[in-house]
Amino acid sequence: MSQIVTKACDILDCYEGRDAAITFTLYFCCLLSGFYPNKSKLHKSLQRIYKRLDDCRVVLRLYDDISIIRDMFTYELRPWEKNFLVRFLKCIHYISWLCYYPSEHIAWLGEVKMLNVDVNLWLFYTNFFWTSALFTSAVWNAYIVLQYYTQQRLDKEKKEEKKFTVGFSRKKNFIPWTAARKAVLATIRDGSEFMVAVHYLPRGYLWANSLTYVQVGVFGICSASIRLYALSKFHK
């Protein structure tokens, strides 16, 4: 029991863990609110909690711009990434995040009347870049998973190393199971959140504004749960 409590405290002590826990809670409230009539007191109370926790996440993200820039140039856009598709998707992914944060800041400042801007327009920009970032992440991680299983199939067939696909050599681009496992989790995580992100776009974009509270809650909880699971397994 003490180990579980210690692990939970370790996760909540870090920024990623606290954000994932808040995300899980707000989507859980959204899920519960969907089981009650929209005009009921409990539904309105759960939706207010959902909105307050969402506002809390916005404030926590005020200084994430710097870390995104660091991750973009330090960890992700490494010069030895040979696969053009992965490199291209990562570029679009991080450009989307770099545009997302300023857009969200401007929309937030507009909502609190600090800036005289069209809040709805900047919220659209925010949700558009959020959707783009999640989509590119889900696609590139799914591609890594596909590469891994292609690699496994070729191993079983005992193909020669020279017959591996471009950018898939044993020496430089061999994909270990640990990387493939993280890619699977990331694909499901970002794919689930992508469903929610599209929902918040203006009506007319795919399934925008068509999900129920329960559906939004389920997809959001799925994404947040995977984040918490990954932190519990891999966070040190």
**151 band by pLDDT with thresholds 50, 70 and 90:** confident
Q: Which of 43-47, 168-172, 201-205, 228-232 has the lowest average pLDDT?
A: 168-172
Look up residue 206 and give its two tokens: 């795919």
* Residue, of 165 and 178, whose pLDDT is higher: 178
pLDDT band at 161; cut points 50, 70, 90: low
Instruction: Output the pLDDT for position 158.
Output: 59
pLDDT at 141: 93
Percent of all residues in the chain with a pLDDT value above 90, rounded to a whole number: 56
pLDDT of 204 higher than 90: no
User: What would the mean pLDDT of 51-68 be, rounded to a whole number?
Assistant: 88
Residue % of the chain over a pLDDT of 70: 88
Q: Which residue has the higher pLDDT, 42 or 75?
A: 42
Position 81 scores a pLDDT of 63
- The answer to which of 45-49, 112-116, 152-156 has the lowest mean pLDDT is 152-156
Segment 207-229 shows an average pLDDT of 94
Of 5 and 82, more confident: 5
Q: Return the HEC string of the chain.
A: CHHHHHHHHHHHHCHHHHHHHHHHHHHHHHHHHCCCCCCCHHHHHHHHHHHHHHHHHHHHHHHHHHHHHHHHHHHHCCCCCCCHHHHHHHHHHHHHHHHHHHHHHHHHHHHCCCCCCCHHHHHHHHHHHHHHHHHHHHHHHHHHHHHHHHHHHHHHCCCCHHHCCCCCCHHHHCCCHHHHHHHHHHHHHHHHHHHHHHHCCCCCCCCCCCCCHHHHHHHHHHHHHHHHHHHHHHCC
pLDDT digits (tens, 9 = 90+) for 7-58: 888 888 888 899 999 999 999 999 999 999 999 999 999 999 999 999 999 9
Q: What is the mean pLDDT of the chain?
A: 86
pLDDT interval class at 235 (50, 70, 90): low
Please write the tens of the pLDDT for every residue from 78-96.
Answer: 556 677 788 888 889 989 9
What pLDDT is stored for residue 217 in this prediction?
96
The pTM of the full predicted model, rounded to 2 decimals, is 0.85
